[in-house]
Structure 1
Amino acid sequence: MKDNFKVALCQMKVVEDKGENIARALAMISEAASQSDLVILPEMWNCPYQTSLFPEYAEEMEDSITLDAVSEAAKQGSVYIVAGSIPEKHNGKVYNSSFIFNPPGEIIGVHRKVHLFDIDVPGEISFKESTTLTAGNQITVVDTPLCKIGICICYDIRFSELLRLMALEGAQLIVVPGAFNLTTGPAHWKPLIRVRAVDNQVFMAAASPARDPDATYVAYGHSMVCDPWGTVLKEAGTDEEIIYIPIDLKMIPKIRQELPLLKNRRTDLYQLKKKKID
């Protein structure tokens, strides 16, 4: 395991043309791979964030032009990739799924969004992923030579139990492909990323699509990385860009020694248990 590595967050513009989205992602991965060890894409980057379109754009893992392209990009760039998320067909259902690739281009982990984004803020926004998507049922932590990486997707970040279980499984970096909107983003995006980093004393890397004011669903942007003390190391704006951030894993044991939150939990009074669901 390395003490230091660099991550690149690709805040890319997403359009209706899947081929154009894939080409845009490949260009950003190619640029980022030469300057980083881990490249991260945003949520639903190969299709618009629109429930009615998810089944139309969905691909099976074994027959996916999107994933094949990312696999080749990982090999060409010799880089780890958290491929944001895409709509995935699996056993007759559609999921919001994130695939993790190693430098040889192999899929080493899959996270299917556990908490579906079903909300209704009167006069602001109403959205219901469950009309076309199925919820996943696994907590995802992938062991890599860089570090142990936890994956959650967008709305998952609001559920502290999920991220605490990732930390207890050894995650040192939690990656969040997310597409908060102009209602929830200004209010909650940065506070959630910072507090999850502080609560679990891990690095948080959250990648959003770029903002497109003409889209049906307008993403907030502001991709960012936060350290275990809650400091925002770097934050994107709203346009398409790549941000690069060095990760110093030596911060984690230092902070956990100074402020032993995980050690001081009262497990005699309360416990958090992971359940296996088939």
Structure 2
Amino acid sequence: MSKFKAAAIQMRSGIDPKRNVETFEALVREAAGQGATYIQTPEMTGAIVSDSEARQSAFTTQDRDIIAAASARLSRELGIFLHIGSTAIVRADGKLANRALLYSPEGASIALYDKIHMFDVDLDNGESWRESNAYEAGTEAVVAELPFAKLGFAICYDVRFPQLFRAEALAGADVLTAPAAFTRQTGEAHWHVLQRARAIENGAFMISAAQGGKHEDGRETYGHSLIVDPWGKIIAEADHDEPGVIVAEIDTALSAAARKKIPNLKNAREFAVNTIAAEGVSLRGAAS
């Protein structure tokens, strides 16, 4: 079976996980009502919390997390694969992970992925982020084999690291993901082109649910949840930053077809980089 209906849920998570669960559940039900059998939520579905002390009370271990519990219940009740794009989970060592979770139609947790690349950046207008101050980076890429697709995991800032997606594509993934809470500044500049590039260069679908709008903790995210086909065509988009659902029919045979037309995964070659210093060369007219 290569065809299925996928949904990406756009949210505006606040600081209270209990309120976010209510919104999350309503949107998952809406997506399932539209026939989606794979449903993805954005990064930080459970809560978006900047304050370090508030994080201590908002987040807990996976076995006690209300998003995890609701996901197990909903996936079983609705008979869906439910992919929590990420939520903050307290690890066994007490550190926080920015963790993606995948639940089966039986309600079982069948895969998890901890975000590898931490969003440590200094943007224009004084906007600065240090994700590594709060979260411990993951160390393993993950590909889950579903009845209708091989699903590769990533989260938000990971999308800027093509080697992660290439490794998953080489491992057989024909659907790649990058659920996100992209800032408005970076989203307006790079969101669409990064999503389309990862799809094109790997001959894979990209499904990326997003956070959108002004959040309770003060940050602003871009929205524009996307589903992109292996040829780089956007086949579904939430063209705004409001909460909602987008749905698209996915046929993974299109991934195989794209990879047959342009077999860059097979054609890649190993190479060395030779850096040569141009000593004793001056430009004509250059200032002395």
> Which residue of the partner structure matches residue 16 of structure 1?
15
TM-score by length of 2: 0.89
Q: In 2, distance between residues paired with 1:216 and 1:82? A: 26
> Which residue of the partner structure matches residue 101 of structure 2?
99
> 1:92-131 counterparts in 2 under 5 A?
92-131=94-133
Q: In 2, distance between residues paired with 1:120 and 1:230? A: 29
> Which residue of the partner structure matches residue 68 of structure 2?
67
> Which residue of the partner structure matches residue 25 of structure 2?
26
Give the partner amino acid of 2:2. D
Give the partner amino acid of 1:250. A
Regions of 4+ moved over 4 Å? none
Q: In 1, distance between residues paired with 2:89 and 2:41? A: 16
Q: In 1, distance between residues paired with 2:55 and 2:162? A: 27
> 1:157-168 counterparts in 2 under 5 A?
157-168=159-170
Question: Structure 1 residue 150 and structure 2 residue 152: aligned?
Answer: yes
Q: In 1, distance between residues paired with 2:124 and 2:8? A: 32
Contact 1:47/1:57 (CA < 8 Å) preserved in 2? Answer: yes
Give the partner amino acid of 2:133. T
Contact 2:15/2:49 (CA < 8 Å) preserved in 1? Answer: no
Gaps of 5+ in 2: 274-288
Q: Deviations over 1:169-209 (max 9, x none)?
A: 11111121101111100111111000000111100001111
Q: In 2, distance between residues paired with 1:161 and 1:268? A: 15
> Which residue of the partner structure matches residue 264 of structure 1?
267
> Which residue of the partner structure matches residue 50 of structure 1?
50
> Which residue of the partner structure matches residue 177 of structure 2?
175
> Which residue of the partner structure matches residue 219 of structure 2?
217
Displacement of 1:139 in angstroms is 0.4
Question: Structure 1 residue 4 and structure 2 residue 12: aligned?
Answer: no
Displacement of 1:134 in angstroms is 0.5
Displacement of 1:56 in angstroms is 3.1
Displacement of 1:213 in angstroms is 6.3
Contact 1:51/1:132 (CA < 8 Å) preserved in 2? Answer: no
The 3-state SS of whatever aligns with 1:22 is helix
Instruction: Note the aligned Cα RMSD (angstroms).
Output: 1.6
The 3-state SS of whatever aligns with 1:28 is helix
> Which residue of the partner structure matches residue 275 of structure 1?
none
> Which residue of the partner structure matches residue 276 of structure 1?
none
Give the partner amino acid of 1:225. I
The alignment of Structure 1 onto Structure 2 pairs a total of residues equal to 269
Contact 1:87/1:97 (CA < 8 Å) preserved in 2? Answer: yes
Contact 1:223/1:235 (CA < 8 Å) preserved in 2? Answer: yes
> Which residue of the partner structure matches residue 280 of structure 2?
none
Query: CA 1:69/1:120 → structure 2, altered by over 3 Å: closer, same or farther?
Result: same
Q: In 1, distance between residues paired with 2:184 and 2:63? A: 35
Displacement of 1:13 in angstroms is 2.2
TM-score by length of 1: 0.92
Q: In 2, distance between residues paired with 1:214 and 1:14? A: 8
Q: In 2, distance between residues paired with 1:245 and 1:20? A: 28
Displacement of 1:215 in angstroms is 4.7
Q: In 2, distance between residues paired with 1:195 and 1:49? A: 30
Q: In 2, distance between residues paired with 1:247 and 1:140? A: 21
Q: In 2, distance between residues paired with 1:107 and 1:187? A: 35
